[in-house]
């Protein structure tokens, strides 16, 4: 296979669960277990779910023993929500799939998030652990020394918890630049996941892995399109959103969304949950 797609989930919740203490801008990325199970069934019927070992082999030019007609699909989860482990884990296991859970280390043990004991007992066959930095702050707004601290601390803390090398990184808020990418590589991350939307090829490299964001509005038809490799709608939307971001800058863009849409800033909320101090 010449490419694979990566689905970006955040939290999988029990059916009917409510999170009144979290803003809609955060819970918009939560899907319930019934929906996640249906998504995974679609992936397994029309594509092939791959694990981190297969992704490593892909970038090493090793062949993946899958019929060429099937799309390779990787399933990831950001932040470290408890439902990603408690609710999604058994569903992944039922379908013989592996998830990749990116954990923000300052969120460990926070409300709704995985605990240190959870991390120690998660079966890496079902779900392997990656880093989502230390505080969930935008990395591209930091100094190089701050970036290095965020990424190296998170890596070592997670490795102490799980007992194996953590060499995968998901960028909080997709806030990446060349400094972030270089420092990530320098401190030992071999695979860097962004929020850009495209099918991943060897040409783009393992430090620039794109993903498709899954929200509570994502339908089965959407997932079917993704597995077929049809990402035109999502790429168009992301292209349109990039225009005001370029004109206003990242900070101005999010301020506009708060003002016009009265939308809480999910990034600030995640940082607040982590207890980080933003200078």
**Residue 147, token pair as written in the block:** 């970036």
CA contacts within 13 A on the Cβ side of 279:
5
- What per-residue confidence (pLDDT) applies to 89? 98
Intra-chain end-to-end CA distance of the chain, in Å: 45
In the block, residue with structure tokens 């430090």? 207
Q: What is the average per-residue pLDDT within 211-226?
A: 97
> Looking at residue 165, what is its pLDDT?
98
Domains recognised in the chain with CATH numbers = 3-274 (3.20.20.370)
- 168 membership: H or E segment, kind and range: strand 168-170
d(CA 254, CA 267): 9
pLDDT tens digits, one per residue of 77-128: 999 999 999 999 999 999 999 999 999 999 999 999 999 999 999 999 999 9
């Amino acid at each position: 296979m010449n490419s694979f797609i990566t689905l970006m989930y955040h939290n999988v919740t029990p059916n009917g669960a409510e999170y009144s203490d979290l803003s809609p801008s955060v819970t918009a990325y939560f899907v319930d277990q019934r929906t996640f199970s249906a998504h995974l069934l679609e992936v397994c019927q029309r594509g092939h779910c791959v694990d981190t070992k297969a992704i490593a082999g892909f970038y090493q030019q090793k062949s993946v023993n899958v019929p060429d007609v099937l799309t390779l699909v990787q399933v990831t989860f950001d932040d470290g929500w408890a439902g990603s482990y408690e609710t999604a884990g058994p569903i992944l296991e039922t379908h013989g799939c592996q998830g990749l859970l990116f954990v923000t280390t300052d969120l460990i043990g926070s409300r709704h998030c995985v605990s240190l004991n959870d991390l120690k007992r998660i079966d890496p066959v079902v779900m392997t652990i990656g880093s989502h930095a230390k505080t969930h702050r935008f990395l591209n707004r930091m100094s190089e020394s701050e970036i290095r601290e965020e990424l190296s601390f998170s890596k070592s803390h997670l490795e102490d918890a799980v007992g194996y090398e953590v060499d995968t990184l998901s960028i909080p808020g997709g806030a990446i630049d060349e400094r972030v990418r270089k420092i990530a590589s320098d401190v030992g991350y071999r695979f860097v996941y962004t929020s850009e939307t495209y099918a991943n090829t060897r040409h783009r490299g393992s430090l620039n892995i794109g993903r498709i964001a899954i929200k509570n509005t994502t339908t089965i038809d959407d997932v079917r399109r993704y597995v077929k490799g049809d990402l035109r709608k999502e790429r168009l939307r992301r292209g349109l959103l990039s225009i005001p971001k370029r004109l206003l800058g990242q900070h101005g863009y999010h301020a506009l969304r708060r003002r016009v849409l009265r939308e809480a800033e999910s990034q600030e909320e995640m940082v607040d949950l982590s207890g980080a101090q933003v200078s």
